[in-house]
Structure 1
């Protein structure tokens, strides 16, 4: 870049340049995946030029250690900034801290930032908004937060994990090249010989793979991050085994495909990509980053670009049906009752957070591809929970982290939220049955639970299991949680603090007072006479889930003396 400032031996200008580097780095970290964030930012008064006007790359200065994040130094300018910088120095064991440098760039993590918050509270007798601390942890911002003249831009509401409607709508335009190529073989309705599955090493992916193996004779090609096909297949088999789903003979029909859904050509070699384009007849696209605390720009490569790459593959050599696993989170939150049909998405307002917005975009791309001749289908699942047959369940979901965090705290939040919990084996069976049948003309299927359940009712089932939990108003529950985390207690919800404010949670947690109703005409028609049905969330089903979590050690055993016998 070019600037008229003089940069050599000028303390003020050096501080300005360091602040600029820090700002650019923060902007890049927010908008780019970690691997794409530049390691160095160099500020120059002018770019060196060749006689023809092009940049003289050979004359650019070499990168040096002084350009690293740790030394992009802007000195404290006030007493508060000086005191905060000293706290950071002591906590992180470093010699000096610039007021514009990100806490995590200096070596901090989610635990040390909470320890730092506790020290700040002790010095200033101020309880910081932990959500804002995670979002922009610099000394300069924290100084404004503890100051009596707090900056509303720092402490105010907002959702930094998401983007505006204009970004969503722009990303939801399908590129022109995603259309069936000339001469491509037509799509087949089955029976299928070769099926491609993405997200096969995840929780829902394991159950999808089990259903595909049980309901067809196809070879299932599973895209996996791995060094080779053998390692890819091994990872898939291990994932099946983790949930008790691996059967004799499975590995003969599983083909591991080294790849990455967040990269062009799905991260495959050109030869492997061309081979799959020619052989595969059906695609189940399940891969996604499902974390609620990851911002949209970091989720976008996998959740949005990955959907595009899957659709490109579906258009090459042979047109392939694509069955996309979406979420009911693509529907916006509304107060009161609102019915959502099985059709294209139209509303963006109150579709918040990186995960929900990225799925909204990908969902929309699928239906645009359908209009161009790709037989794409979308399944909008409820909040996926454990198997209704065995109780096997992933511990790595928000609802299960919430349950464990509340058990650790000894209290749960009294909030008017309804949860749509749907068993994973039911979801997988429904998707596989419809996809392998090949005959459905419908584009969208809502796959909600048998009935929505109030969050407070869920926790009453948990207390009935034997866990002693107090029911607290949200603000009291939040204060207890924040205090526990600040004390350094090991609570499962520590990493989710960005989703909780002192007065109310972020909308990703749920829209208070909302009573959504999901139309299921398409789903019921497609599953008629299949024998596939969804169990409601009741005492029997939830005991099955809790039994599984106790047996795996994810949850401590409850107090048998307080267990309610049904």
Structure 2
């Protein structure tokens, strides 16, 4: 360690270069990541220490990084001292909460050690000190001393709120959904393969839905499946795919010869691939199932656009290269506007973005429209719009990284569930995978839109009652009581799965991103029902039995604690 210190302290040019590199990295992170994800420190090491097996020695790396941080110190150009009384008082609260003595008014709360839990505590301290309630959403969207101090004044809150909305305007959505001119069916392209494809490209294959889609494609055909994966190498990509399948008990030994992982990036031009690899895909792939997307309701349109929108453009571009490739796009029922009352939505192309709220929802709207536009230019396409994808109806395997499951766990942790007048379409992931793979591989339906729903549309109140019937004691409360309990629990240091989604809950009501109270959408499914005739694919209606399957799986993985008592014994007899 002393040698490491001496090497850097005796090389001023090296210190200058690493300082510049750190600043470049910080600037890049600020431009491409939300504030809460920007690292608080960047430490440059000469080389990565390795273990005898060639893997990175993480323990030694942390030790060396800490040593270098001590040598290099903390960049001083980020520290601007407070100048107004409000800034001074907010800075004092930060220092007390975070245990640090030097904080600049332009530094993000999350880059200097703050997190969701301390954000709640900070909101409470500011309310006590100033008598003004700063919402958690405001803290996430304006996490600097300067911006918080401005919000404590008059006239600034509305302007800052509008500047940091997750959504963009409907007019911008219409502009964003213009397909580039080069995505065309041109002369000289090989025609689309008739019958079952021999090769398929799957995006999003290391996600939850992607795992079941890959399993279904492998089981329902003899095709080799290329899986585009963000990874350091093709081998690393393959390991990610295999581990993902294994995590849901979906891996089979014979998959090794049919899964062809490709290290690439959906959010980069030409997937960030070298020319030879890209042209190989263009030549060999005969069909594309485009499932890849970032599904984060708490993020902005701008943040999600590279993957969800530009990634879709790249998929369509590949589909028109060398060979015509049918594209089967996994969209979402979230593409529809949210309004009070009942509204019927047909299985048809999108035209109206007005009322579509939220960064995720809007990126899916634009991508859905782009795929439809490619279809108008002659590319064979299908669009699938599932509801909220839940655990498998066979086995209960479910992702713990969805908002709906975070909501279920968060309410169970609180022992309370809020009143929320919204309806949900909860569709099992294995049913979604079976439907999409069946229709995609069948090749009989092109230019169609399919709504993937559950035979039973459920109200949030129904979901709460199902959880209660399964042995978890939940008290149904009004929103203000529920929100107060959640923030109070976090202020006291209790863990809650909803901490990372606090930005979606306001002091008086949930964010419109989560739905409009009183909305009752009806999604028509006639085209889907006709296409599935004779397929044998059946979706189990959402009810207590299916909820019990999901909760048992969550208990088996440790996501939820095991139920105890007489209510639990009675609930366990339901399945």
What is the TM-score with the length of structure 2 in the denominator? Answer: 0.84
Counterpart for residue 62 of structure 1: none
Secondary structure of 1:103's aligned partner = coil
Q: 1:321 & 1:136 partners in 2: Cα distance?
A: 44
1:77 aligns to 2:64 (yes or no):
no
Deviations 1:229-251 (A, max 9, x none): 22222211111111111123111
Counterpart for residue 93 of structure 2: 87
Deviations 1:441-482 (A, max 9, x none): 342111112121011111111111111111110111111111
Name which of structure 1's ranges 136-145 and 370-379 shifts more when overlaid on structure 2.
136-145
**Offset, 1:389:** 1.1
Counterpart for residue 473 of structure 1: 478
Q: How does 1:25-174 map to 2 (within 5 A)?
A: 28=31, 71-146=77-152, 149=154, 151-153=156-158, 160-174=165-179
Q: 2:29 & 2:118 partners in 1: Cα distance?
A: 20
Decide whether the 8 Å contact of 1:189 with 1:439 is kept in 2.
no
**Offset, 1:374:** 0.9
Counterpart for residue 436 of structure 1: 441
Secondary structure of 2:406's aligned partner = helix
Q: How does 1:163-202 map to 2 (within 5 A)?
A: 163-202=168-207
Counterpart for residue 458 of structure 2: 453
**Offset, 1:435:** 0.3
Q: 2:206 & 2:405 partners in 1: Cα distance?
A: 19
Deviations 1:147-200 (A, max 9, x none): 5x4644268678721211122111110000111243110112321111110111
Decide whether the 8 Å contact of 1:378 with 1:444 is kept in 2.
yes
Distance 1:350 1:559, change over 3 A: farther
Counterpart for residue 217 of structure 1: 222
Q: 1:311 & 1:443 partners in 2: Cα distance?
A: 16
Return 5+ residue gaps in structure 2 as ranges.
Answer: 1-26, 43-71
Decide whether the 8 Å contact of 1:382 with 1:422 is kept in 2.
yes
Decide whether the 8 Å contact of 1:70 with 1:105 is kept in 2.
no
Superposed CA RMSD: 2.6
Secondary structure of 1:332's aligned partner = coil
**Offset, 1:80:** 2.2
Q: 1:428 & 1:370 partners in 2: Cα distance?
A: 22
Decide whether the 8 Å contact of 2:302 with 2:359 is kept in 1.
yes
Counterpart for residue 16 of structure 2: none
**Offset, 1:113:** 2.4
Q: 1:33 & 1:218 partners in 2: Cα distance?
A: 42
Secondary structure of 1:377's aligned partner = strand
Q: 1:77 & 1:238 partners in 2: Cα distance?
A: 52
Distance 1:102 1:331, change over 3 A: same
**Offset, 1:490:** 0.9
**Offset, 1:107:** 4.0
1:516 aligns with one of 498, 521, 526: 521
Decide whether the 8 Å contact of 2:179 with 2:373 is kept in 1.
yes
Counterpart for residue 57 of structure 2: none
Counterpart for residue 47 of structure 1: none
**Offset, 1:359:** 0.5
Secondary structure of 1:249's aligned partner = helix
Q: 1:443 & 1:533 partners in 2: Cα distance?
A: 21
Q: How does 1:1-12 map to 2 (within 5 A)?
A: none
Decide whether the 8 Å contact of 2:426 with 2:453 is kept in 1.
yes
Deviations 1:279-313 (A, max 9, x none): 11000000000011111111111101100000010
Decide whether the 8 Å contact of 2:375 with 2:447 is kept in 1.
no
Q: 2:36 & 2:488 partners in 1: Cα distance?
A: 32
Distance 1:385 1:139, change over 3 A: same
Distance 1:89 1:324, change over 3 A: same
1:255 aligns with one of 251, 254, 260: 260
Q: 2:184 & 2:367 partners in 1: Cα distance?
A: 16
Counterpart for residue 356 of structure 2: 351
Q: How does 1:167-316 map to 2 (within 5 A)?
A: 167-316=172-321
Distance 1:525 1:458, change over 3 A: same
Deviations 1:71-103 (A, max 9, x none): 344442322221111222333444433334332
Deviations 1:535-556 (A, max 9, x none): 1111111100000001110001
1:323 aligns with one of 328, 335, 348: 328
Counterpart for residue 21 of structure 2: none
Q: 1:305 & 1:320 partners in 2: Cα distance?
A: 18
Counterpart for residue 497 of structure 1: 502
Counterpart for residue 61 of structure 2: none
Decide whether the 8 Å contact of 1:129 with 1:501 is kept in 2.
yes
Q: 1:117 & 1:441 partners in 2: Cα distance?
A: 52
Name which of structure 1's ranges 464-473 and 78-87 shifts more when overlaid on structure 2.
78-87
Secondary structure of 2:232's aligned partner = coil
Decide whether the 8 Å contact of 2:120 with 2:487 is kept in 1.
no
Q: How does 1:479-558 map to 2 (within 5 A)?
A: 479-558=484-563
Distance 1:555 1:33, change over 3 A: closer
What is the TM-score with the length of structure 1 in the denominator? Answer: 0.86
**Offset, 1:34:** 8.1
Q: Give the length in aligned residue pairs.
A: 514
